[in-house]
Amino acid sequence: MYQVYPRSFADGDGDGTGDLAGVRARLPYLAGLGIDAIWFTPWYPSPLADGGYDVADYRAIDPVFGDLASAEELIATALGHGIRTIIDIVPNHVSDQHAWFQAAVAAGPNSPERQRFWFRDGRGPDESLPPTDWTSEFGGGTWTRITDADGRPEQWYLHLFSSAQPDLNWAHPDVQREHEDVLGFWLDRGVAGIRIDSAALLAKDPRLPEVTESPEPGTHPYIDRDELQEIYRAWRRVAETYGPDRALIGEIWLPDVERFTRYLRPDVLHTAFNFDFMSAPWDADRLRSSITRTLSAHDRVGAPATWVLSNHDVTRPVTRYGRDKTGFSFDTKRFGTPTDLALGTRRARAAALLAMALPGAYYLYQGDELGLPEAENIPVEQLQDPMYARSRGIDPGRDGCRVPLPWSGDEPPYGFSPEPVDTWLPQPDQWGALTVAAQSTDPASMLSLHRMALLIRRNHPDLGDGPMRWLPSDPGVIAFGRGADFASLTNVTDHPVDLPAHLQVWLASQPLEGGQLPSDATVWLRLRS
């Protein structure tokens, strides 16, 4: 599954921002890469307070990308290339420019329009304190106070993310009906799947209690509440009226794998992003235990596992894996963190082959097949992500992984736009060797590695879904078999390890050295029985 961030994939009309015409023109590239589906991050009209996750209209396409007709055409053309389309639905919140929120603000306290959101009076003298002390996902508080038509302070509304993203009240029947209708709208247009944004946050405890230290599972005021299961059962019923080929994919960040897999029971969601593996440091025991935990939990509910190394919210793997020799945290971003990109690239290559050999679906974020590093020198005045503003200049935010892709040539815009324009985020000056064109002719490139791996994965009957078994190995080597003849070995030690003699190599992330697997490398082997 290939994640397209439409603003940064390819620009068809030359305005420096990616669009659907750009994607359409690059479908042969994606088909040649060997993917099965594209997941588009939000393409709806949006004031872009949070990169499109602030949706003003769920049934239209932002004019910067195209229009509804061009989206329908893209879905159909992609299918002609054997590529299915997954769209992103953002049900937790809407944009403050969405018609419902505008109507709610205008209608005043106690109006039916306000019941669709979380409007509350403030606490304390003059109601000048927010209803709770919850902390927003982007830092700061979760409540913003509106003013009435005369400019006097009025009620507060809840937003778990930025103040431009008011949270919907999922206990309200209009909210449920509207989203089921939006699902149908896109399923009618031939999409094969829906990625559900912030899927574990929709339901709230109406008493709005404060968040306590380590709440019992299911008792947090807004994370992973039991009411969600019924909401998604209703979504599942909608999806199933379209047959067995439409998938609901939850974006669910929960540290507890057992709680996570409750969403994957046969009548709830089909699948969800597994962030446990992405969060594991580069350590054989930690990676192995994440794999075991993930697979056994998924087996218990009969859902396919997913493997994710990155997305538009986290530091690019090449940079992340090059940052800390013992481990890393994907969410600790700081300007000027020392990075060993050569080491990070080796590990990112090894991690990609490891993940692609595991049972289940592999999610590839655009540009990771090129081994793009995080773009770390974006001038601060050009940073767009609200995370940057909220961090008071400490954290560069998520723009560094959202920079327009380099396609060809030696200088910006590297073929991203048809003419030499400034792209919406600036591209680094050193990306000439990372373009699709440059990597296509180099058999040792990251792109060639991905093409080969996806080709093997597509053609080998024992890859993708199906069982795996651990193979005996050095503790620093992650070794497992698939079917009768396939094995994957990842060397997570700092020294080369011996490989069994007389094996046939399918693919290796680094050249093998005299029958040895180098440090930070993965090899796919054909076992002889």
Q: How far is the CB of 93 from ligand TEU (least distance, A)?
A: 7
Interaction between residue 319 and ligand TEU (CB under 6 A) = no
| Nearer CB in complex with ligand TEU: 7/346 | 7
**Sign of dihedral through CA atoms 122, 128, 133, 134?**
positive
| Nearer CB in complex with ligand TEU: 331/419 | 331
Structural contact between residues 329 and 351, judged by C-beta atoms closer than 8 angstroms: no
Out of 121, 230, 258, 331, the residue judged to bind ligand TEU by CB under 6 A: 331
Q: How far is the CB of 517 from ligand TEU (least distance, A)?
A: 33
Structural contact between residues 463 and 439, judged by C-beta atoms closer than 8 angstroms: no
CA distance 426 to 416: 11
Query: Which range of residues in 96-104, 117-125, 306-314, 404-412 is near ligand TEU by CB under 6 A?
Result: 306-314
Q: How far is the CB of 54 from ligand TEU (least distance, A)?
A: 7
CA distance 354 to 348: 10
The encoded tokens of residue 68 equal: 């509804």
Interaction between residue 62 and ligand TEU (CB under 6 A) = no
Q: How far is the CB of 330 from ligand TEU (least distance, A)?
A: 7
Q: How far is the CB of 252 from ligand TEU (least distance, A)?
A: 9
| Nearer CB in complex with ligand TEU: 5/186 | 5
Footprint of ligand TEU on 489-528 (CB under 6 A): none
Query: Which range of residues in 178-186, 283-291, 309-317, 461-469 is near ligand TEU by CB under 6 A?
Result: 309-317
Out of 39, 43, 44, 53, the residue judged to bind ligand TEU by CB under 6 A: 53
Write the interaction track for ligand TEU spanning residues 78-117; mark x where CB under 6 A is met and - where it is not: ------------x---------------------------
Residue holding tokens 């490891």? 354
Query: Which range of residues in 23-31, 144-152, 310-318, 460-468 is near ligand TEU by CB under 6 A?
Result: 310-318
Interaction between residue 50 and ligand TEU (CB under 6 A) = yes
| Nearer CB in complex with ligand TEU: 225/312 | 312
CA-closest candidate to residue 229, choices 203, 206, 256: 203
Interaction between residue 137 and ligand TEU (CB under 6 A) = yes
Q: How far is the CB of 253 from ligand TEU (least distance, A)?
A: 5
Out of 161, 321, 407, 416, the residue judged to bind ligand TEU by CB under 6 A: 161
Beta bridge partners of 66: none
CA distance 369 to 33: 9
Question: What is the size of the binding site for ligand TEU (CB under 6 A)?
Answer: 13
Interaction between residue 253 and ligand TEU (CB under 6 A) = yes
CA distance 369 to 106: 48
CA distance 273 to 193: 13
Interaction between residue 58 and ligand TEU (CB under 6 A) = no
Q: How far is the CB of 428 from ligand TEU (least distance, A)?
A: 21
Interaction between residue 369 and ligand TEU (CB under 6 A) = no
Footprint of ligand TEU on 336-365 (CB under 6 A): none
For 44-83, the three-class secondary structure string (H helix, E strand, C coil) is: CCCCCCCCCCCCCCCCCCCCCCCCHHHHHHHHHHHHHCCC
CA-closest candidate to residue 310, choices 221, 227, 398, 243: 398
Interaction between residue 313 and ligand TEU (CB under 6 A) = yes
For residue 35, CA distances in Å to 22, 41, 83, 86 come to 18, 17, 7, 13
Q: How far is the CB of 499 from ligand TEU (least distance, A)?
A: 38
Interaction between residue 198 and ligand TEU (CB under 6 A) = yes
Q: Phi-psi region for residue 514, left (φ > 0), alpha (ψ -120 to 50) or beta?
A: left
| Nearer CB in complex with ligand TEU: 288/320 | 320
For 247-310, the three-class secondary structure string (H helix, E strand, C coil) is: EEEECCCCCCHHHHHHCCCCCCCCEECCHHHHHCCCCHHHHHHHHHHHHHHHHHHCCCCEEECC
Structural contact between residues 63 and 71, judged by C-beta atoms closer than 8 angstroms: no
3-state secondary structure of 92: coil
| Nearer CB in complex with ligand TEU: 160/478 | 160
| Nearer CB in complex with ligand TEU: 7/312 | 312
Structural contact between residues 9 and 345, judged by C-beta atoms closer than 8 angstroms: no
Interaction between residue 156 and ligand TEU (CB under 6 A) = no
Structural contact between residues 3 and 23, judged by C-beta atoms closer than 8 angstroms: no
Residue holding tokens 């218990």? 300
Structural contact between residues 358 and 351, judged by C-beta atoms closer than 8 angstroms: no
Interaction between residue 315 and ligand TEU (CB under 6 A) = no
Out of 197, 224, 369, 374, the residue judged to bind ligand TEU by CB under 6 A: 197
Q: At what angle do helices 173-188 and 227-240 cross, to 10 degrees?
A: 30
3-state secondary structure of 200: coil
| Nearer CB in complex with ligand TEU: 235/253 | 253
Contacting positions for ligand TEU (CB under 6 A) = 50, 53, 90, 137, 161, 197-198, 251, 253, 312-314, 331
